[in-house]
Amino acid sequence: MRKSLIFFLKIGILVAAAVWLAQRPGRVTIEWLDHVAEMPVGIAAILVLLLAWIAATLGRLWRILRGGPGALGRRRNSNRREGGFRALSQGWVAVAAGDADIATKSAKAAEKLLREPSLTLPLAAHAAELRGDAPAAATYYKAMLAKPSTELAARKALLAQAMGKGDRPAALDHARRALELRPKADWPAKALAELEAGGGNWLEADAALVKAQKSKALAKEDAAPRRAALLIEEARQAVSTGRPESALQAAQAAFDLDPARVPAAALLARLLAKAGKHAKAGKVLEQTWRLSPHPDLAKAWGEVSADQNALSLVKRYEGLVALKPGAADAHFALGEAAINAKLWGVARSHLEKTRELAATQRVYRRLADVARAEKGEGPEAHGFLNQAMSAAADPRWRCTSCGTTHGDWHAVCDQCKSVDTITWPKVGR
């Protein structure tokens, strides 16, 4: 529509000019050297317009001829880039679909057309991983280290490769460098803490988590439990190397970070009792017991008592039962204390209560002990032992990452080397 209006406007101007010239007749004389040319004004105007059109046309032709090669080059480059980005897109789709062949072909095509390593190297590396060529993938990732835009991604991939091969020094180097590049990223901090913990460097691992928490790479609620796990191991190490003050300090820090963590409370209570602070040790166990009743806490409850008389311990365990009457572990511990004090009726009563709450193998074995003590070897004792064989197994610490069971808790799984994944299953009702 707009073009049509402009066209008719031009026609109108020409017609108006023609009418104006027709109303003003005259002649134009041109004298040049020895030649004289004379013509009507209208003809002269037409010649001027014709010459202007010829000049404009020649100018356009000249610009086309002069700029032709550049325009062709720009168009060719544009086509190359479009083809390169198309290949790049197809390659990433193939990676998502797990098609190694198409991913590899697309990576090569994209590299040939784009010649931009920061865009094509990640695709080439993933394609190499898809076809199982780890050395080629590593080569691509190492090339990516030279580009600031791709270094972090390369560090993450090389870190995973190093951890897979068990190359701890290389993995540590990649984790530390990645954390320097992106202090607020959570994965380098977690990886660094896990690697340091795997090497038994508890304080270094804790320092990595503290740094991650300060930079907000890890939320406090995520960092605190992991830090508690590491500090428990640091406290244990301090005990084994004869540093009681350091052990107590680390255990207290672990307990403060995670009061519900059984190993922290049990260790802290024992260290306090060893330092003569029996009442404070009891308070620690009370606090955690209310949150997480556990056999280790029940065992520590008796160990930290200043009075180790058998009858006194029965009385003490009655206090533990009163704290949480529905806790099977408290009734079982009281039953065992009663056995040690030869109070068979009390022992039987609380072991039967334990059987109501959590009928596992340990309960039947202890009931057999009571029956044997009261009536000797006979049908009742044998009956309890037979029931123990078919009863549910006693709970054990279990790694949530690989499923391996453990006799006691520790920060790093022996099997899969994951950090803070060993937990206690819930039993009873």
DSSP state of 395: P
Contact between 126 and 103 (Cβ < 8 Å): yes
Contact between 43 and 30 (Cβ < 8 Å): no
CA distance 57 to 229: 84
CA distance 126 to 145: 15
**What is the identity of the amino acid at 199?**
G
Q: What angle do CA 413, 415, 421 make, to 5 degrees?
A: 30
Sign of CA dihedral 135, 137, 143, 147: negative
Architecture of domain 219-306: Alpha Horseshoe (1.25)
Which pair of tokens denotes residue 285? 């166990």
CA distance 197 to 402: 18
- Domains of the chain, by residue range, sit at 2-78, 219-306, 309-391, 395-429
CA distance 120 to 146: 14
pLDDT given at position 265: 97
Task: List the beta bridge partners of residue 31.
Answer: 36
pLDDT given at position 237: 95
| 282 contact partners, CB below 8 Å, separation of at least 6 | 269, 301, 304, 305
Q: What 3-state DSSP class applies to 338?
A: helix
Which pair of tokens denotes residue 407? 């006799």
pLDDT given at position 65: 66
Strand order across the 405-406 sheet: 405-406, 397-399, 422-423
DSSP state of 149: T
Topology match between the domains 219-306 and 309-391 = yes
Q: Which long-range contacts (CB under 8 A, 24 or more apart) does 83-90 make?
A: 83/109, 83/113, 84/109, 84/110, 84/112, 84/113, 84/114, 84/116, 85/110, 85/114, 87/113, 88/114, 88/119, 88/120, 88/123
CA neighbor of 123 nearest in space, from 152, 155, 145, 100 = 100
Question: Domain 309-391: what homologous superfamily?
Answer: Tetratricopeptide repeat domain (1.25.40.10)
CA distance 25 to 421: 106
Contact between 346 and 316 (Cβ < 8 Å): no
Q: Which residue has the tokens 């200043």?
A: 306
DSSP state of 32: E
pLDDT averaged over consecutive 10-residue blocks of the chain (429 residues)?
A: 66 61 63 67 66 74 63 66 84 87 89 84 89 90 89 90 87 89 85 85 88 83 91 95 95 96 97 96 97 96 96 96 94 96 96 95 96 91 94 94 93 88 75
Burial category of 361 from C-beta neighbours within 10 Å (exposed 0-12, middle 13-18, buried 19 and up): middle
